[in-house]
Chains A and B, each alone.
Chain A
Amino acid sequence: MVVYSFYIFDRHTECIYQKSWLPPPSIQTTTTSSSDNAKLVFGTVFSLRNMVRKLGGEDDAFISFRTAQYKLHYYETASSLRFVMLTDISTLSMRNVLHQIYINLWVEYVVKNPLSPVEHKGGEGVRNELFELGLDQFIRGLM
């Protein structure tokens, strides 16, 4: 199992955190910058989520999609935070992993961090040492 990259989008649709571990074999070798990538990823999951809801009803959720190169996993919290992870195509569902990141890392080290603001404009307060360390260890432990 290989994890390529990970993104968090807040309820204002801003990308407040992104991290790459390994570049996928053939994407991201083009000229797009990492912020452009985040926008592309958000556009994709936003449209897919809306389409899925339109077809399947309000309670339906899209969980992942797969291309020939990568698999994208999606998890949306009740508070409209969106967690996205790109992995290789053979990986099983990472929904549980994204949920774990939310409850064990995000809630603990960002929401309950006294030095982190309530809103994370520009990613403020998310890139703290405990969160980054915890995330990196967690992901490397899976790989």
Chain B
Amino acid sequence: MSFDPVMPPYNASDPTARFVASSCLDFLFIELVPMSYRITNELEEVVVASSSSAADAASIPQSQGTVKKMDEEEEREAVFWRLEGIGYRVGMGLVERFSKDRPKFNDTLDVIKFLCKDLWTLVFRKQVDNLKTNHRGVYVLTDNAFRPFSRMSTEAGGQAVVKAQPFLWIPCGIVRGALAAMGIQATVQAETSELPGAVFQIKTIPAKS
């Protein structure tokens, strides 16, 4: 909804503040996923077409219908990297913009807290509900009502949880990009077992000393 109250850390007196209807962001997040699938499949068709025409030039007989399509796993992987990459870039930029007035972070936990509170509020309009860590570089963020999933629903038995998975990939990238901008290399994985909840697992990669 577009009439949500304005949340910190930005406010109307901030001369650099920009306001966008949140529906815009919602629709953009929604459309990026099917768009990535389309682009990935179209690029693959071009590759297949050009390789088969090259094969024609070499006069190797090609039987119709043997054009190798990407299998599901490859498609999934390609779309994942496309979306994750978009998110990574967004996360990087967001941190530059919204951490500029903050003191330097002391340790990794500080950074993770900034991510769970400030950045999450900024992107998903609420804070992370639960943060767990094994104190050895693994952090598990649980959001019981993940905003992009709040209106996600299918018919009963429509495998909503499976279909929701690709919508976690941009947020994954945003988290990884944000951490990278704050000097923490990490791998980020996300999954959901029941809508509208989502669990993010961050494994930090210790910097070589």
Contacts and interface: CB of A to CB of B under 8 A. Distances in A.
Interface size grouping (class) on chain B: 10 to 19
B148 A114 contact: yes
For the residues of A in contact with B, the DSSP-based class is loop
B104 to A, nearest CB: 37
Contacts of B26: 112
B153 A131 contact: yes
A113 B27 contact: no
B151 A109 contact: yes
A115 B156 contact: no
A128 B154 contact: yes
Nearest to B166: A114
A112 B30 contact: yes
B151 A129 contact: no
B156 A129 contact: yes
B138 to A, nearest CB: 29
Interface in B8-47: 23, 26-27, 29-30, 33
B167 interface: yes
Contacts of A128: 153-155, 158
A16 to B, nearest CB: 13
A40 interface: no
A130 B30 contact: no
Contacts of A130: 151, 153
Taking residues whose C-beta sits less than 8 angstroms from the other chain, chain A's interface range is 10 to 19
Interface in A37-81: none
Contacts of B163: 115
Contacts of B148: 114
A127 interface: yes
Interface in B136-158: 148, 151-156, 158
Given A114-B167, A115-B163, A115-B164, A129 B155 contact: yes
A108 interface: yes
Interface in A109-143: 109, 112-115, 127-131
B122 interface: no
A112 B153 contact: no
B181 interface: no
A102 to B, nearest CB: 14
B78 interface: no
Given A127-B155, A128-B154, A115 B160 contact: yes
Interface of B: 23, 26-27, 29-30, 33, 148, 151-156, 158, 160, 163-164, 167
Interface of A: 108-109, 112-115, 127-131
